[in-house]
């Protein structure tokens, strides 16, 4: 029988949130186990770091900027043809396919090839039936607000627990004569940052990293405005006091520990059912979270916190994959690569026309691409080797970083008196790529601003928790 496939996708989890990857402030024992028995990809990026476009890429294997017009963004179909998505092809290949949790497809109930799906909307119907007096978001925090709070339902009624519960139920009741492809999608650590208090308490006494701040960061300056616009509109974290940012970061880490704890149940049941040794496990996130870095929150731009995501691939048992256990891959990769990777892991041939490339060779140390173009307008990025070049259509801002010496993007080499010669080459590469896709950000062979960068005063204010909600939240909720 073909191997099973388990794809685990969190929402808004940045790259530096795994203890086994060297981030000792994190409490992630089950993801650490996955890392120690699989391969950690150290340079994986979300193709377009916003929920809906990133998830479109996962099921199509096509970069957002190469999708047909009207495909992949909010309120648009998630794939141009639902019969050639990753789940559709694997269903036709004989797999029993099931999706659980957050999909974020449009239309909402379109499964795009999954045989069965239990999605977030089903959770809200379920909790009204089993606990009619409980409100999962009674704190009043909005879906994009980073103000920290606590869950208003107990562990067993959270969406995180429900997602694993439904995944385990599928494993226990599936057709044993067919291999399975299970997608387990978590809605966290996406805001609201409202963990169960027990997970918040786990971080008591742990020294947590402070946000990084680049030499190019001056809130209110044209350059900073060029890259911070959408993040400010979502949460206005640049106006927050330091102690509230620290609390938000702690709540964010606690949400990841809650996911990790529940994943322990999923992995244990997989082992108890005798399927662990026959299953490929892939763990990643749709995009990251700036989390206060450079005075920004949320996602949308292509800075490391927003676009760089964790990726772990754990192969099934067998000597042929022994080299991939406890290893690290430096290969440049992206979410589009998971489509051909999972197809080849299943013994199937990926269809033509994909932007993604199989990462199975990277498990043996090979590179799979020399460069990566990423981003979602107004943000564009070109990564090549150690270099990372950003351009924003808002005001025409430019950033250049040497990730080898500056992994946190603190020194903008594009503003140096003598910029590195590579700046001109990377800019030209991005111009050529944007021209080929008909982007309005290129005119007469040059990058141009398509709109001015709005000032902080011109943007929406976010002065208090619950700004978009019916119910407010006391400022001292966590004290």
And the tokens for 361? 């060779």
- Give the integer Cα–Cα distance in Å for 411 and 381: 16
Contact 285, 12 (CB under 8 A): yes
pLDDT score for 474: 35
Is the domain spanning 4-369 CATH 1.10.3720.10? The answer is no
- Give the integer Cα–Cα distance in Å for 352 and 55: 20
Mean pLDDT of the 346-375 span? 96
- Give the integer Cα–Cα distance in Å for 108 and 354: 24
77-112 confidence digits (pLDDT tens): 888 888 999 999 999 999 999 999 999 988 888 889
pLDDT score for 163: 99
DSSP code for 64: G
pLDDT score for 478: 37
Confidence check: pLDDT of 167 > 80: yes
Confidence check: pLDDT of 74 > 90: no
Query: What is the rounded average pLDDT for all residues in the chain?
Result: 92
pLDDT score for 108: 85
Confidence check: pLDDT of 342 > 90: yes
Please give the helix or strand (H or E) that residue 184 lies within, else none: strand 180-189
DSSP code for 3: P
pLDDT score for 457: 52
Confidence check: pLDDT of 325 > 90: yes
Beta bridge pairs of residue 282: 7, 313
How many beta carbons lie within 10 A of that of residue 217, not counting itself?
20
Contact 71, 93 (CB under 8 A): no
Contact 389, 419 (CB under 8 A): no
pLDDT score for 220: 81
Sequence-separated (6 or more) residues with CB below 8 Å from residue 121:
108, 109
Sequence-separated (6 or more) residues with CB below 8 Å from residue 164:
184, 262, 263, 265, 266
Which is more confidently placed, 457 or 200? 200
And the tokens for 175? 């057709």
Mean pLDDT of the 268-285 span? 98
| Res. 405 pLDDT band, cuts 50 70 90 | very high
pTM, full prediction: 0.94
CA angle 275, 333, 96 (to 5 degrees): 30
The angle that helices 29-36 and 242-272 make with each other, rounded to 10 degrees, is 60
- Give the integer Cα–Cα distance in Å for 148 and 249: 8
């Amino acid at each position: 029988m073909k191997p099973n496939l388990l794809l685990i996708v969190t929402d808004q989890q940045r790259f530096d949130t795994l203890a086994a990857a060297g981030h000792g402030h994190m409490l992630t024992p089950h993801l650490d186990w996955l890392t120690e028995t699989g391969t950690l990809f150290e340079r994986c990026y979300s193709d377009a770091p916003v929920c809906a476009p990133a998830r479109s890429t996962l099921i199509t294997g096509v970069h957002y900027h190469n999708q047909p017009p009207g495909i992949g963004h909010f309120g648009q179909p998630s794939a141009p043809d639902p019969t050639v998505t990753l789940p559709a092809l694997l269903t036709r290949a004989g797999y029993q396919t099931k999706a659980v949790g957050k999909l974020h497809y449009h239309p909402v109930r379109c499964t795009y090839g999954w045989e069965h799906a239990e999605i977030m909307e089903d959770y809200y119907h379920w909790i009204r039936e089993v606990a009619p007096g409980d409100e999962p978001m009674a704190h009043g925090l909005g879906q994009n607000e980073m103000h920290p709070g606590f869950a208003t339902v107990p562990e067993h009624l959270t969406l995180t627990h429900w997602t694993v519960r439904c995944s385990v139920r599928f494993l226990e009741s599936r057709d044993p004569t067919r291999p399975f492809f299970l997608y387990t999608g978590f809605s966290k650590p996406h805001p609201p940052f409202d963990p169960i208090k027990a997970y918040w308490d786990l971080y008591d006494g742990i020294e947590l990293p402070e946000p990084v701040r680049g030499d190019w960061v001056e809130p209110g300056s044209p350059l900073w405005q060029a890259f911070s616009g959408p993040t400010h509109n979502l949460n206005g974290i640049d106006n927050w006091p330091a102690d509230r940012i620290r609390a938000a970061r702690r709540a964010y880490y606690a949400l990841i520990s809650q996911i990790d704890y529940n994943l322990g149940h999923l992995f244990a049941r997989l082992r108890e059912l005798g399927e662990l040794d026959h299953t490929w496990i892939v763990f990643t996130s749709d995009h990251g979270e700036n989390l206060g870095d450079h005075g920004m929150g949320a996602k949308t731009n292509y800075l490391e916190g927003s676009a760089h995501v964790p990726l772990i691939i754990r192969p099934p048992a067998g000597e042929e994959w022994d080299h991939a256990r406890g290893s690290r891959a430096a290969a440049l990769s992206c979410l589009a690569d998971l489509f051909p990777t999972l197809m080849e892991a299943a013994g199937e041939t990926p269809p033509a026309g994909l932007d993604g490339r199989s990462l199975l060779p990277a498990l043996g140390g090979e590179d799979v691409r020399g460069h990566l173009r990423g981003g979602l307008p107004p943000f564009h990025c070109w990564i090549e080797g150690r270099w990372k070049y950003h351009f924003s259509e808002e005001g025409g801002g430019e950033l250049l970083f040497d990730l080898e010496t500056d992994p946190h993007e603190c020194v903008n080499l594009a503003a140096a008196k003598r910029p590195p010669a590579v700046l001109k080459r990377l800019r030209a590469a991005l111009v050529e790529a944007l021209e080929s896709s008909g982007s309005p950000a290129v005119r007469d062979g040059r990058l141009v601003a398509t709109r001015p960068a709005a000032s902080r005063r011109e943007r929406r204010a976010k002065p208090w928790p619950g700004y978009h909600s019916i119910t407010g939240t006391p400022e001292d909720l966590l004290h």
